[in-house]
Structure 1
Amino acid sequence: MKPFKSFILFSFGMLTFTACSDDEPAPEPINEEEIITTFTATFVPQGGGTTITLQSRDLDGDGPNPPEVTVSGDFAENAIYDGTIVLLNETETPAEDITTEVEEEDEEHQFFYTVGSSLNANLEYANFDGNGNPLGTAFTMTTTTASSGTIAFTLRHEPLKPNSGLADAGGETDLAVTFSVNIQ
């Protein structure tokens, strides 16, 4: 009977030893996606003029109501605008500024700008991640002649960096909004 007790104690000890092993990798922390209810792009003309604001606000998320999309006015011809993007989660009080998190995790995010072919404007990145790749929460827009068209903003999470644009960036879309605008 003594060998049987020794066998039981030895087996229990081995189970305890293997259960406490550090060979198993620790699970990766879950980085839950943030809720973005409000996108605001502000365009400030260099040299003075009227600031233009584009906003998409969707307080019910995937709910039945469509986002409220507003454009505060028309862009001027032959102008250069300094632009900034602000992302908010307005389901919380006070509203949480998601822009801060995107900028802190700059290597894991990138905004892409798509200017419709009929709009005489060009957007360029004005801020970059720690590796020198585009981030895009700040940008410059240059307009030329009068036209009408669209500007789309797409935020990708964990895109391939560097990339040549939205088509080969991969990653997951956190936000996609499109605005109809005019240059007068």
Structure 2
Amino acid sequence: MKKNIVIAIACISMLTFAACKKEKSAPTPDEQELITTVKITLSDDAGFNQTFEYKVENGFSSGTSAIEIDTVKLNANKTYSAVLTVLNEKASPVEDITAEIIEKSYEHLFVFASAPASGNGSVSVADGNKDSNGKPLNQTFQLTTSTAGKGTFRVTLMHQPTDKNGTTPETAGGETDLDATFPISLQ
């Protein structure tokens, strides 16, 4: 009988210990910000200063179509200073996400594509700013236009890219936070 009491106490002790044991919780991933708008502000030495917008009502990751896309109208054969601004216009007041992108610059990369890649209506990008580790961020850059024509300019923001030197979404890797294609008209 004494043996049964000892076994019962041992079992109760083990059950109590097991019941009190804390479960390990999985780490909470960073929640991505809602991004509804990307703006490109272009300026030059002659006083040109204009902002072009690309808006998606429910955010870029929602799968909804764009509700506003400005055509970027620029002079041919010219270089412009460019600054990208990223917003959540669903928030009230509007939330400027650009500061967070810059603060966590090591987790972000803007990549660009021109179609056509060269010739009439194409643009090229150079001298993008760097992240906190000296790697590309490209939130500011120089945009150079080619000869007169029409084309497109694609802006993609990669989150946690696997290659900060990547120049396309595929080579940069990571998650796509925004993907906007602006019509370009060079005159």
| TM-score range for the pair, normalised by the shorter chain length | 0.7 to 0.9
Which residue pairs with 1:152 in the alignment?
154
CA distance in 2, matches of 1:182, 1:31: 38
Which residue pairs with 2:49 in the alignment?
51
CA shift at 1:20, angstroms? 5.8
CA RMSD of aligned residues (A): 2.5
**SS of equivalent residue, structure 2 residue 98:** helix
Partner amino acid, structure 2, of 1:57 = K
After the TM superposition, which parts of structure 1 deviate over 6 Å for at least 4 consecutive aligned residues? none
List runs of 5+ in structure 2 lacking aligned partners.
none
For residues 15 and 101 of structure 1, do their structure 2 counterparts lie closer, same or farther at Cα, with a shift above 3 Å needed?
Answer: farther
Does residue 1:93 correspond to 2:92, yes or no?
A: yes
Q: Is the 8 A contact 1:125 1:134 kept in 2?
A: no
Residues 127-182 of structure 1 show CA distances to partners (whole Å, capped at 9, x for unaligned) of 11222221121111122432321100011112112343213222111111101112
For residues 115 and 14 of structure 1, do their structure 2 counterparts lie closer, same or farther at Cα, with a shift above 3 Å needed?
Answer: same
Structure 1 range deviating more: 129-138 or 2-11: 2-11
TM-score by length of 2: 0.82
List aligned pairs for 1:57-96, cutoff 5 A.
Answer: 57-61=55-59, 62=62, 66-71=66-71, 74-96=73-95
**SS of equivalent residue, structure 2 residue 74:** coil
For residues 8 and 107 of structure 1, do their structure 2 counterparts lie closer, same or farther at Cα, with a shift above 3 Å needed?
Answer: farther
Q: Is the 8 A contact 1:52 1:74 kept in 2?
A: no
For residues 20 and 138 of structure 1, do their structure 2 counterparts lie closer, same or farther at Cα, with a shift above 3 Å needed?
Answer: farther
Q: How many residues align?
A: 181
**SS of equivalent residue, structure 1 residue 161:** coil
List runs of 5+ in structure 1 lacking aligned partners.
none
TM-score by length of 1: 0.83
Q: Is the 8 A contact 1:133 1:161 kept in 2?
A: no
